Amino acid sequence: MEQVSQAPDSAPRRRSVRVFGATLLCGLLLGGAVPYVTGTDGTYLSYLVLDERADAQGADHAAEQVRAAGGQVVQAYPQIGTVLAYAGGRFAEKLRGRPGTAAVGATRTVPVPSPPRPLAGAAFDPGAPAADVAEGQEDSTATVPDPGEHNDWNLAMIGAVERPPGRAALLHPPLDRPADRSADRTGALPTAQQLSQVTVAVLDSGVDDTHPDLRAAVDPAASASCADGRPDARSGAWRPDEAINESGHGTHVAGIVGAARDGHGVTGVAPGVRIAAVRLLGPLGQYYAENIVCGMLWAADHGARAINDSYFADPWKYNCPEDADQAALIAAVGRAVAYAQRKGAVVVASAGNDAQDLTGARPDHRSPNDRTSGPPQDRELGTECIRLPGELPGVVTVGAVDRNGLPASYSNYGRGRISLSAPGGDPDGGTDGAVVSDWPGGKYAALAGTSMSAAHVTGAIAVVAAQHPDWDPDRIAAALAKAADGNCVQTLPIGCQDRDYYGAGILALPR
């Protein structure tokens, strides 16, 4: 997750980005959500096995190779010639170099006692049998009162709503028409009816579709869980797992994208859009590569025009191609992203909250983050080591700015690595400086991070797709880049030209 901090309305606690990140990570890994602590015989690791053929025949051949080497196939990804397998610790060495095998990599570093249990409906098919899923969760994130659609400096900045009277100038000039906060917007921006023809996917920790702001937005037929690398389309499987702390992140992101405009709560960038809620966060609090592959393929096959990825792939914060396991993860996620792009989706990713220059050497003191004991590896990384999926070809990678349009102190940066910037907020800014959005259980929270920035861009893509249904991903991304550049020229003619931090500029809805 790329959330920096919660920002309650009154007396927010000040904390550094790094301290908060470490605290959150410990909560995910050690807060009672780690069922697999084992070192005995008969344990398994999960592996992605890629065939040289990135198609169904390749997946069949990869599955044959897995079984011949003593592994168990848990899920096939015929769209990209890849399978998910479980096997013992030296399984990869058995397969690497075999004819037709392109890459094999362990997706985790801590073994589990067994492969996942059989899952009814484990296929890329939305018609799986229904089952009830528990709702609600306990969470440590502070919530804020219902904002009544008034804490939306972020929407005013990008031109999605009228600039609030009596407030700071922000960046974007006022719209040319009176604000109507209770009805569909008219003129240059699409109506809710037009937006309802567009589907975007939120790949995250799950989305609470019972939230009043999201009840009409989440499309059950396009939603699923990929929390163990297998698509589970049973009713409610896409909702947050109440056993995992901070699993409200996806609901917050979804609210920024498409919360309803109804006079209550918050408004999304694209109110009326259909949201495919795809839960990636598994029981260990991790976004493993197989979860990402599963979610990306599911979203692409269910018509998503944009796919929001506000996280990085676990267990390695950055994946380095010189490591055989990590090279396989790069290749597998890369195939899934390329497939989604070919199917017509713009893949959007958060840039990250480590205040690091992605074009230079940098440290990684957190990986692997799925360990259950001992310190992380102290890695010094070169530019060849990348964040997944944010630094893959064609991905729109989003940095964060605060309410004043200045680069957020936590946001990663780097010329050529940041596509554009969008409102991410200040983690210590309260409801006036962070981004207020939905939280599970009908609640609201003020958060900050590049997660929030990416969600604004995903909503903007929905707006462009509603206006131009025939545009392909490259043309949509180009339109956003052009509008962002124009926003800089009009509002921050000097500082916004620093492409290291802003990329093309600050997000603005194209007119």
Q: Of these residues, 61, 172, 211, 249, which one is catalytic?
A: 249
Q: Per the structure block, which two tokens stand in for 140? A: 């440590």
SS3 assignment, position 48: strand
Angle at 196 between CA 192 and CA 199, to 5 degrees: 135
- Residue 133: closest CA among 439, 445, 455, 440: 440
Q: Report the alpha-carbon distance of residue 75 to residue 79 in Å, rounded.
A: 12
Q: Report the alpha-carbon distance of residue 390 to residue 99 in Å, rounded.
A: 31
Under DSSP, the state recorded for 30 is: H
Q: Of these residues, 204, 209, 309, 485, which one is catalytic?
A: 204
CB–CB of 51/102 below 8 Å? yes
Q: Of these residues, 350, 367, 451, 453, which one is catalytic?
A: 451
228 is catalytic: no
Task: Name, in order, each residue with C-beta under 8 angstroms of 498's C-beta and a sequence gap of 6 or more.
Answer: none
- Residue 422: closest CA among 386, 392, 396: 396
- Residue 91: closest CA among 120, 68, 59, 57: 68
Residue 354 C-beta-side C-alpha neighbours within 13 Å: 18
- Residue 388: closest CA among 462, 305, 319: 319
Q: Per the structure block, which two tokens stand in for 312? A: 């990085």
451 is catalytic: yes
- Residue 422: closest CA among 151, 160, 147: 160
Catalytic residue ranges: 204, 249, 451
